[in-house]
Structure 1
Amino acid sequence: MEIVDLRSDTVTKPTAAMRQAMFEAEVGDDGYGEDPTVQELEKLAAQMTGKEAGLFVTSGTQGNQLAVMVHAGKCSEVICEATAHMFGSETGGMAALTGAQPYPVIAPDGKLTPELIEPAIRKKKMNVPSTSLIAVENTHNSAGGVYYTPPELAAIKEVATQYALPVHMDGARIFNAAVAQNIPVADLARYADSMQMCLSKGLCAPVGSVLVGSADFIRQARRYRRLLGGGMRQVGIIAAAGIVALKTMVSRLSEDHAHARLLGEAVAATKLNTDLAKVQTNIVMADVSPLGMQAAQFVEILREHNIRASEYGKYKVRMVTHHDVSADQIQYAIKVLKKIAG
């Protein structure tokens, strides 16, 4: 039987249209700024998000860390949520690459608010780090794919402006947030000075993210990208898939959201604990402790039924819907979950 892979939307494979575009891609030396396909991708991403410029990068992590390198510096501090990807899943990049340190703030549903941010902003003193950046994650992975709304982001941006601080958005799944709210992605990106967005998750491109922001910000980020070994050459072969992703794969994310809802409702009907209010996009979190087992055990039982899921801590299991999981596979997963935990 075929595998139902719910570990992550990163397991998606490029579509036939992407493979064809990659085969036919016009290329040049991007290190010299001469790859026309990369230029097209960067321009498209900037236009879609309402920013001046874009930069094709190898991954979301690279995009996030480049943003910190531009916005922050040694002896400074980046306010972020305590379970943010930038803080806990990027190998300590802030401190290692920039000399800035994170200021993690615990927030309900992983979402920062002005009331949580303002007390974390340092007063200017000789013996304390200076606050240099506010970072938000939209959607928030560890919180189960919940999203920020435009009013919530506007309130954060207002506080940031009051204290003359930039805002960076980790928009790895920003298109999920936009589609779930039925709004253009620019309506979310407008409240961030910079944002990175992944092409290789729900949008199915094989590699890469795009970092967007002002022309000056991107100019600085491009220089730091070279420092990190990201000065790629005939990379239009990969960028071509990203163009197809942005043009054709955004609206269909609603299918993944519908599948996640079905999966979440099925989980809620078993002995497992889940919060349906947090199943807003394509991620379902399930607490397996009511079964008297740990996440590793539950994941192994699923594996025996040809279903793949991810451990997320000692008792939580994460399941992510995406393009490569069909409606029939979702129904099979639901059947197995009911059998195991019903």
Structure 2
Amino acid sequence: MKYIDLRSDTVTTPTKEMREAMYKAPVGDDVFSDDLLMNELEDYIAKILGKEAGIFVPSGTFSNQLSLFTHCNQGDEVIVDQDAHIVQHESGASPIISSVQLFTLESNNGIWDLDKLEKVIKKRTISTTQTKLICIENAYSGKVLPLNYMARVYKIAKKHKLAVHLDGARIFNAATALNIEAKEMTKYADTVSVCLSKALGAPVGTVLVGSKEFIDRARINRKIMGGGMRQIGILAAAAKIAVEKMSKRLYIDHENAKYMEELLRQIPGIKIDENQRDINMVFFDIDNDKKYQLDEYLFKKGVKILPYEGVFRFVTHYDITREEIKIAIDLVRDYFLS
């Protein structure tokens, strides 16, 4: 049975072109930097994001944590949004791997009060640690942060001689929403993590980009973290297609999310979170206690969603058609109106 899977764009499967490229890919030992396809991919992604070098790692969590590990020393402080992926969805990795202290700053849908941001930056004293890094996220859940905001955060960081890391897991979605090249965003960060296995559809991988000096150090730290891989040209082959081609079709996912939103609005009681409607996600709620069993009902009907956790999040992606969206939302309508 083929399920209509609205849980996340992480469920995308490699395209036929990716699978064929993987089968034919020449390979080499990447720990020795002998995998030419991977070298090419890392250089390519660094170039389109306006950085000097890149390094491939297995996941977004690995990439973010590698960045913190490479930017910081033990006991340094990292300022990060209280709801950021680094805080909420990386299994408490930061103090385990990097021995850093996270300062979680409350935001309004990813937008900090920048006066507060500047006030919480610490200088080393006998009693306090020092702030070393500021982490921002764009896209932030379903919201895209504006360029002028990123520029202001970056300016504050440089004023205090701090580095900025951008968790750009869905940076190509954000760039699509803003109708700009991704490098227009990444110029406001020293390092950037970009995921290849979400909406871009590659089977595995994230690339961390930054200066050559930073990536050289990150390559050693990747080995320490157990991320040294061998014949991974097969992954580079799929990833290159993901970036070159799949990034150009993300507007379709965004249009499909808008279509989904329109269908959901027709269901009495549904409330759309309009603050998170910039990319391929629709967040919504309904004042109906039946919502707590919606995931179980839909699963029996051939639709996968995440359980209700204060809000529903439905995600469009390459493997979902408009026809399937209509089927899924009709089931949601039938469930709540029955």
Mapped to 2, the partners of 1:73 and 1:341 lie a distance apart of 52
Q: 2:272 maps to what in 1? A: 274
2:295–2:308 Cα contact (<8 Å) kept = no
Q: 2:174 maps to what in 1? A: 177
Q: TM-score, normalised by structure 2?
A: 0.96
Secondary structure of the structure 2 residue equivalent to 1:311? coil
Which residue of the other structure, out of 153, 157, 161, is the alignment partner of 1:160?
A: 157
Counterpart mapping for 1:54-93 below 5 A: 54-93=54-93
1:265–1:276 Cα contact (<8 Å) kept = no
Counterpart mapping for 1:88-103 below 5 A: 88-103=88-103
Q: TM-score, normalised by structure 1?
A: 0.95
What letter matches 1:99 in structure 2? S
Gap regions ≥5 residues in structure 1:
none
Q: 2:306 maps to what in 1? A: 310
What letter matches 1:282 in structure 2? N
Mapped to 2, the partners of 1:222 and 1:112 lie a distance apart of 32
Mapped to 1, the partners of 2:228 and 2:123 lie a distance apart of 38
Mapped to 1, the partners of 2:163 and 2:113 lie a distance apart of 15
Mapped to 1, the partners of 2:207 and 2:308 lie a distance apart of 27
Secondary structure of the structure 2 residue equivalent to 1:211? strand
Mapped to 2, the partners of 1:258 and 1:278 lie a distance apart of 14
Secondary structure of the structure 2 residue equivalent to 1:169? strand
Counterpart mapping for 1:97-112 below 5 A: 97-112=97-112
**CA shift in 2, pair 1:113/1:171, >3 Å:** farther
**CA shift in 2, pair 1:78/1:319, >3 Å:** same
1:113–1:152 Cα contact (<8 Å) kept = no
239-248 or 331-340, which moves further after superposition? 331-340
Secondary structure of the structure 2 residue equivalent to 1:108? coil
Counterpart mapping for 1:211-290 below 5 A: 211-270=208-267, 271-288=269-286, 290=287
Q: 1:43 maps to what in 2? A: 43
Q: Does 1:195 align with 2:192?
A: yes
How far is the alpha carbon of 1:91 from its aligned partner? 1.1
Q: Deviations over 1:50-104 (max 9, x none)?
A: 0000101111111100100111121111111111000111111110001102111
Mapped to 1, the partners of 2:336 and 2:148 lie a distance apart of 39
How far is the alpha carbon of 1:243 from its aligned partner? 0.5
1:26–1:37 Cα contact (<8 Å) kept = yes
1:268–1:276 Cα contact (<8 Å) kept = no
Secondary structure of the structure 1 residue equivalent to 2:95? helix
1:198–1:209 Cα contact (<8 Å) kept = yes
Q: Deviations over 1:6-42 (max 9, x none)?
A: 0111100000110111111111111101100000100
How far is the alpha carbon of 1:113 from its aligned partner? 4.7
Secondary structure of the structure 1 residue equivalent to 2:155? helix
Secondary structure of the structure 2 residue equivalent to 1:62? helix
Mapped to 2, the partners of 1:216 and 1:341 lie a distance apart of 56
2:7–2:305 Cα contact (<8 Å) kept = yes
Mapped to 1, the partners of 2:2 and 2:69 lie a distance apart of 43
Mapped to 1, the partners of 2:228 and 2:7 lie a distance apart of 31
Counterpart mapping for 1:103-142 below 5 A: 103-141=103-141
**CA shift in 2, pair 1:29/1:2, >3 Å:** closer
Mapped to 2, the partners of 1:259 and 1:305 lie a distance apart of 21
**CA shift in 2, pair 1:104/1:191, >3 Å:** same
How far is the alpha carbon of 1:304 from its aligned partner? 2.4
Identity of matched residues, %? 39
How far is the alpha carbon of 1:112 from its aligned partner? 3.1
Q: Does 1:301 align with 2:300?
A: no
2:76–2:101 Cα contact (<8 Å) kept = yes
Q: Deviations over 1:164-194 (max 9, x none)?
A: 1100011110000001111000001110000
Q: Provide the alpha-carbon RMSD of the alignment.
A: 1.4
* Number of equivalences: 336
Secondary structure of the structure 1 residue equivalent to 2:298? helix
Secondary structure of the structure 2 residue equivalent to 1:109? coil
Counterpart mapping for 1:17-32 below 5 A: 17-32=17-32
Secondary structure of the structure 2 residue equivalent to 1:206? coil
300-309 or 200-209, which moves further after superposition? 300-309
How far is the alpha carbon of 1:312 from its aligned partner? 5.4
Mapped to 1, the partners of 2:264 and 2:300 lie a distance apart of 19
Secondary structure of the structure 2 residue equivalent to 1:192? coil
Mapped to 1, the partners of 2:190 and 2:178 lie a distance apart of 21
